[in-house]
Chain A
Amino acid sequence: MNAIELDGITKSFASGLSGVTVCALKSVTLRIPEGETVGLLGSNGSGKTTLLKIILGLLAPTVGTCRVFGVPSNCIDARRFVGYLPEAPEFYPFLTGIELVRFFARLGGLPGRGREGLIRAAIAEVGMSGAAGRRVGTYSRGMKQRIGLAQALVTNPRLVILDEPTANLDPEGAAAVCGVIRRVRARGGTVLLSSHQLNHIEDLCDRVAFLNRGRLVMWAAKNEFAPQRMDGGLLVESLPKACRPELRIWLEDRGARMEGGPIPQRSRLEQVFMAAAGCAPPDEREIP
């Protein structure tokens, strides 16, 4: 079953009294199978957040249809399957962390029996147990991001939509969020992840969708963007030129071969992203 089905989604916004329309999305058609983790990439203003809001039913498409687990996204029932973390989330500053997660758990219809256990488990999962009694207004941006993730996950949704979940986090926090996403995936949940952190997308996602100026320009599976492994290969950097003949002889005596040339890009996704966005790839470096 598809978790998300988008058919010819176009979204235009009228701007100002002059009625100038800005087309944020143009004929986006996409199928996201259940259980997959999908990265949504694109430059700023490419329409990622608009697309997420259409999936959540917060915006209505100008043209096209969107379904979540077969239910039209503008129908309230579609939201029973979804947990959502907005970009740069701002939550009620007057609530404590645990009150906030409890509020969203109750809104999501989590039954009273066992609810407190699930709330505490969700908070523990994002590493916020120590600060759960503090008011959200006193949290750092990273802590808000993490408590936001807890509220998104507390109802154990089938589809988790995360808009820039690692944007404000330190490396430790980002790694914790990546761990949470892996666990959601492991239990069969679908994750739609919008992010500019290409290494996280590369690491976590089964597929990647690229948006450029509102158009879906690429829909790539993992093997198309994951870094190629050089099994048995050895990369030597900063070796003085004088030592190269000596090393070549040593290697050839042992049945190996040495190749010079450009160092492969660390991230193929970055190249794919640049190509999809219509930008020139970064300069490649030569072995010194």
Chain B
Amino acid sequence: MSRTRFSAARMALIAQNTLLECRRQRFFLLLSLLTAAMGIAVWVFCDCGFVAPRAKFLLDGGFGALTFFGAVLAIVTAAQSFSGEIEKRTVLAVLARPVWRMEFILGKLAGVMILLLIFYATSTGLLLGLVMWEQAGPGMSSAGFPAGGGQVSGSAVLACGLVQWLRSGVLAALTLLVSSYARSSLFAVVSGFAALVICNLQSVASDACRAAGSGWAESVVGVIGVIFPDFALYDVADGVAAGGVLPTTYLAGVTLYSIAYAGVFGGLAACCFRHREL
């Protein structure tokens, strides 16, 4: 009898099922609509004339909505699709089949990542459309679009969307790691948001400790900085709004950084889940 090996096909099947689950839930639709509504609202506010510069407002508002709702989507879908299966015991019938637990968890991560890709591709596409419409419009120069007088690069907006997707992917992997030992999806969601706060604030904490000159606090923040990714690296919307472009070296670096963290979190999640009693 041949041994059952790790199968990319089974992993893809689980990813496909996870994607279908997320797509058929109202939550995804609701968040997508909210993001679109936020983007359009920001665009409408631009026309009121009391915001300047327009580019910064439009891109900041758009990417702000994208980042916030993307993070919510990453945390909630990762927790629901994994902890939810354990809570509802649907996982029992799946793992009673010849399925490696690694396939299951990586399939879940892949499914959530594809869902986030759809979300970011659609939302960034909408934002890019609004930016291009503004740039082609007659009133754009009076409000200063962009701030520096140049044009906002479409490829920079797309690259910024890619960077935000990478950020939410790392967050989804981190939430999956929590879910791999969490007893409830609520715990996983709350822990995911706590991790989001840590990841967003760690550069601020690091700067504060350095300014205060506290050696031990700096060490603690340094350790936390290794455990959790620094999400300040992903804050590039300001530069794009100012007409800047994202250098290829930056994109390559942030992609490797994200893959490394997502890989480590995914691997740890697989280890935790491997020995978990269901």
A contacts, CB < 8 Å to B: 13, 53, 56-60, 76-77, 79-80, 82, 84-86, 89-92, 94-95, 103-104, 106-109, 148, 151-152, 161
Contact = CB atoms under 8 A, between A and B. Distances in A.
Interface in B1-58: 1, 3-4, 10, 13, 17, 20-21, 24-25
B142 interface: no
A107 B99 contact: yes
B90 A79 contact: no
Contact of B13 (A89, A107, A151): A107
A89 B96 CA distance: 13
Contact of A58 (B4, B13, B17, B96): B96
Contacts of B95: 56-58
A84 B99 CA distance: 14
B17 A103 contact: yes
Given A103-B13, A107-B13, A84 B93 contact: yes
Interface residues of B, number: 24
B94 interface: yes
Nearest to B1: A77
Contacts of B69: none
Contacts of A161: 96
Given A59-B278, A90-B90, A91-B90, A77 B3 contact: yes
Given A56-B96, A79-B96, A92 B278 contact: no
Contacts of B278: 53, 58-59
Contacts of A79: 96-99
A79 B94 CA distance: 11
Contacts of B20: 94-95
Interface in B69-100: 88-90, 92-100
B24 A94 contact: yes
Nearest to A70: B1
A151 B96 CA distance: 11
Nearest to B94: A107
A254 B278 CA distance: 66
A213 to B, nearest CB: 20
B97 A107 contact: yes
Nearest to A79: B98
A101 to B, nearest CB: 11
B1 A104 contact: no
A77 B93 contact: no
Contacts of A104: 93-94, 97
A92 B96 contact: no
A53 B3 CA distance: 22
Nearest to B92: A86
A90 B97 contact: no
Contacts of A108: 97-98
B93 A82 contact: no
Contacts of A84: 92-93, 96
A60 B93 CA distance: 17
A77 B5 CA distance: 9
Contact of B96 (A13, A82, A94, A106): A82
Given A58-B92, A86-B92, A106 B277 contact: no
